[in-house]
Structure 1
Amino acid sequence: MFVPKIHAQEDRSPERDLLLQNPAKEIPPLKRDTPPIVPLGTDFQNSVLLLNNRFRVDSDVDEVTMVFFRDRGSAPVVLVRPDGSKIFIENDEEDPNVQWYETQTYDMISIKKPMPGPWQAVGQVLEGSKVMVIADIVLDAQPIPRNIYSGEIIKQTAVLKNNGKQVDFSPFRDVVSLTIDFVSNNNPNFENFGLGTRTIARFQDNGEGLDEIAGDGVFTGQFNLSIPSGEWRPTFGIRTPLYNREQINETVILHPNPIFINVKVDETNEAEHVIMIDTDSKHIKLDSLLLDGKVTHPNGDTDNVTMTETNDLVKVIKVKNTGFGIYRIKLTAFATTADGREVIINVPEHTFVTIAPPEPEPIPTLELEVNDTSKEPAQPISMTLPIDMWTATDTVSFIIAINLFIFVFGGIGIFLVLNKRKYPNDHIILRCKLACFTLLDKLKNLRKSKLKSDAVE
């Protein structure tokens, strides 16, 4: 039986976060309040083998974080202390010394100041399972090249280590989330100044994508470098349900895409469009460039493009002129960098547009009127030309009339509004209403007087 001494996990401090934003300062190593994990025995494997679901906790342990793998969908395990008392998942809310995270397949439990002695896990723990004692977990990954390129496809492999030993228990891959973030160095001389953090890759051990074998303990990440160029500091993130850990790598420089596309458009509709592909000679060797991709025509047809001839000449692709519209070029480049590194680079889609020439203006036609000479004398030949009844002068006059209408009636409206605000009890509109009412009363009285006089007569 191997007995690990485990101490509290270190946390990332605010001071360390501030240092990450200032690349001029050296980033100090993570500090520990207590010595690192001390293995007892010669073949310590960063885990305790379950013997009838029993394991032992040493008296010097300050905090232990364990993972129990169990049958899918089974109930969470129950921990039995050396004195016979039990710890249920409900204790997570009652006991501040217990943190518990459970899923369909595992329980992750962190206990501060655990009782020394033999413990037991009661539950449907997987046969051959281990109590994964998480001590000092890191991601041991290949170094990222100093110079990388926008659009580059990078495959990077890594292994997960716990206290220096590789974790080879495949179910553990479901416990951790492994990512690579690029943190901007905030260098004002680069395009990524002030852009913060970008997640560019997630490591997987599922046999999908670029990962070769599922569950072999080798995690694979495929970079997505479609981010602005500049100085970036790679940060490996290791996240578990109960704590997070970060590893800071050396600064890398992400250069703009080094593959250039220029197009000579055929405007005669009789020849071919010429596409020329060149490289940034400071970064990519032109004589190593290979190309694969396609050209999409305006009508939706596609031409596959493959160029495997290696020479130091600019690559030329001729595209048949099939009509007017948008042509799209999408290429993947395979090349060698100036420092001898083999790279695969996705070239940003390049488009160009061909426009149909304008139709010629209609030519005035001569209309000959020939009459029947047997009935009427011949009439002279007349020329009829199309006449545009609406002239430019009419357009100007129409615009002036509209503006004058808006000016006059708009001015009247503004005057009435201002007058009403200034004289709320004696404004012009009120006066007009009173005048109308007075006029109506006079007309009514006049009509009554007329009717009376007619009646008297």
Structure 2
Amino acid sequence: MPTSFAQQEKLLEASGAGKTLEQTTTETKKTTTPIIALGNDFQNSIEFLNNRFRVDNDVEEVTMVFFREDGSAPIVLVRPDGSKLFIENDDDDPDMRWYETQKYDMISIKKPMPGPWQAIGEILDGSKIMVIADIVLDAQPIPRNIYSGEIIKQTAVLTNNGKQVDFSPFRDVVSLTIDFVSNNNPNYENFGLGSRTVARFQDNGEGFDEAAADGVFTGQFNLSIPSGEWRPTFGIRTPMYTREQKNDLVILHPTPIFINVKIDETSVESADGESNESKDETDDERTYGEHIITVDTDAEHIKLDSLLLDGKVTHPNGEIDNVTITEFNNSVKMIRVKNDNYGIYRVKLTAFATTVDDREVIINVPEYTFLTSEPAEPEPEVDESQVVEMSAPPVVIEPEKDAWTATNTVSLIIAINSCIFVFGGMVIFLILNKRKYPNDHIMLRYKIACVELLAKIKNFKKTKSAEETDKLGE
């Protein structure tokens, strides 16, 4: 088995099954492809010659992606001179960047060595050596006039060096988005709002994407952003770099679908005129008023005769009415809603219509709500025949007596406040005196004086009693 690239090249030339390296290099320059696989299917089935590719001599920078077994170790690159590049070289070589995940390696090399290279590792069977040369998202242009709430399905293909990329593992490498960047026009609502991501492209067979891994990416727009003048910017992001592709300006208009309601002011009544609160009657036996919801369009943008509606009305009690209007006419659409409860009604509609420039649109109309309140109960009627007339004359307060009462009241309030002030002052004084003279405060003096006075009175009584006893003895 050959042990060098020179011997491998001789093997390729001697096999006669493929082109020589010089022929391949010449054709590479003609097609401006920086990297090509070497050998035909027979030669590449030889284990030693697997995952070989050639770098042209006028390539300034190349970015390669190698898909490998999930969880396997990063690959090893072998240069034309036999030297090896490992992921550890990323820290030492300023001309190389290496990004690795559980499933792939992405390697970017500036001024790569021309000639045949080889990748060694657990590369997936059937895996392609992807060389990112000029990644572009080729998408349909966005219409000039679009509308808030509009649902837009847009398909695009990812091209690399002008050719469509249809290799499904490549979905894990790139992220495809559309950002709307405000044009900062002060005449619009979105002035100064920067950018908003409105769509992400997927090739996974979910949502609006028709088939997974078919190379056709589908983006579903979310236009619930402020209206105004925006510039769509297609973003292509890889772990190594980000590229942007800017499109022409578009104008996002406010929703062109208008909803109004005429609220039924009558109370909910049954067929015989009694209140609907009666539990003895079923809904079928009751009669209700109706709220009238009208749906119109902005004639400058939407043809009214093309408007179709689908949605629902939610009653305050949670009951849901499905709404479908499929008649083509030039009349304002009307939705009748049973007035069976008081509270908040919610209207959520999807409109299908044609614009004045004959573009079919689907618009999620913002939720519309309205509130109904229970009418105030009427005042009870008075039966005049049962009214008892009061014969007693009204009490009249004499002015002099009233003035006297007011004066006494004021005096009493002043007296009470004065007492509170005096007694409060005395209490505060006694407390402060006790804190300042704990062993000689006024209360202690008063207590001692009272004890002494009682003792004197007691002694006086004893002396008096003794004198009287002496007199009786004489």
**Would you say same fold, with TM above 0.5?**
yes
In structure 2, relative to structure 1, the CA distance for the partners of 1:80 and 1:331 (3 Å cut) is: same
Distance 1:92 1:98 in 2: 6
Query: How big is the shift at 1:190?
Result: 0.6
Matches within 5 A, 1:61-76: 61-76=59-74
Matched with 2:407 is none
- Mapping for residues 22-33 of structure 1, pairs under 5 Å: none
Question: Does residue 304 of structure 1 match 2:292?
Answer: no
> Deviation at 1:434?
4.2
C-alpha spacing 1:434/1:288, structure 2 compared with 1 (3 Å): same
Superposed CA deviations along residues 146-203 of structure 1, whole A, max 9, x for unmatched, are: 0000011111111111122211222111110000000111111111111111000001
Select which of 146, 151, 154 maps to 1:153.
151
Bigger Cα displacement from structure 2, 123-132 vs 176-185: 123-132
Question: Paired residue for 2:179, among 157, 178, 181?
Answer: 181
SS in structure 2 at match of 1:111: strand
Report the count of equivalent residues: 367
Give the TM-score normalised by structure 1. Answer: 0.73
Which residue of the other structure, out of 300, 322, 342, is the alignment partner of 1:324? 342
- Distance across 1 between alignment mates of 2:158 and 2:192: 32
What is the Cα deviation at residue 105 of structure 1?
1.5
1:55-114 deviations in Å (ceiling 9; x for gaps): 222333332110001122222111122233322222223332221111222110112232
Aligned to 2:443: 443
Which whole-Å CA distance do the structure 1 matches of 2:359 and 2:430 have between them?
Answer: 90
Secondary structure of 1:40's counterpart equals: helix
Residues in 2 aligned to 1:155 and 1:232: alpha-carbon distance in whole angstroms: 18
Aligned identity (percent) is 70
Counterpart residue type for residue 107 of structure 1 = D
Question: Counterpart of 1:86 in structure 2: which amino acid?
Answer: K
Inter-partner Cα distance in structure 2 for 1:61 and 1:164: 17
Query: Quick check: which has more Rg, 1 or 2?
Result: 2
SS at match of 1:99: strand
- 1:431/1:48 Cα in 2 relative to 1: closer, same or farther (>3 Å)? farther
- Residue 220 of structure 1 is matched in structure 2 by 218
Structure 1 residue 278: deviation in Å?
A: 0.5
Give the corresponding residue for 1:284.
302
SS in structure 2 at match of 1:437: helix
Does 2:377 correspond to 1:359?
yes
Secondary structure, aligned partner of 1:172: helix
Indicate the residue corresponding to 2:261 in structure 1. 263
Give runs of aligned pairs for residues 403-418 of structure 1, distance below 5 A: none
Residue number in structure 2 paired with 1:252: 250
Is the 1:47–1:132 Cα contact (8 Å) retained in structure 2? no
2:282 corresponds to: none
State the 1:132 CA deviation. 1.3
Tell me which amino acid in the other structure corresponds to 2:336. K
Name the structure with the higher helix share: 2
Does 1:40 find its partner at 2:28? Answer: yes
Cα offsets for 1:201-220 (capped at 9, x unmatched): 00111111111111111111
**Distance change in 2, residues 1:42/1:139 (3 Å):** same
Is the alpha carbon distance of 1:290 and 1:216 closer, same or farther for their aligned partners in structure 2, counting shifts above 3 Å? Answer: same
> What is the RMSD of the two structures over their aligned residues, measured on CA atoms?
3.0
Is the CA contact 1:47–1:130 (under 8 Å) kept in the aligned structure 2? no
Q: Is the 8 A contact 2:34 2:56 kept in 1?
A: no
Partners of 1:322 and 1:455 in 2: how far apart? 94
CA distance in 1, matches of 2:217, 2:257: 30
Specify the code of the residue in structure 1 equivalent to 2:259. Answer: I
Of residues 343, 356, 359 in structure 2, which corresponds to 1:341? 359
- Aligned in 2, Cα 1:289/1:332: closer, same or farther, shift over 3 Å? same
Q: How big is each residue's C-alpha offset from its partner over 1:265-316, in whole Å with a ceiling of 9 and x where there is no partner?
A: 1111342111111100000000111111111112212111111111111111
Q: What whole-Å deviation, never above 9, does each CA across 1:291-346 have from its counterpart, x for those lacking one? A: 11111112212111111111111111111222112111111111110111111111
SS at match of 2:353: strand
In the superposition, the TM-score normalised over structure 2's length comes to 0.71
Partner in structure 1 of residue 37 of structure 2: 49
- Secondary structure class of the residue paired with 2:129: strand
Q: How much does 1:134 deviate?
A: 1.0
For residues 326-378 of structure 1, give each alpha carbon's deviation from its aligned partner in whole angstroms, at most 9, with x where no partner exists.
11111111111011111111111111111111234467899x9xxxxxxxxxx
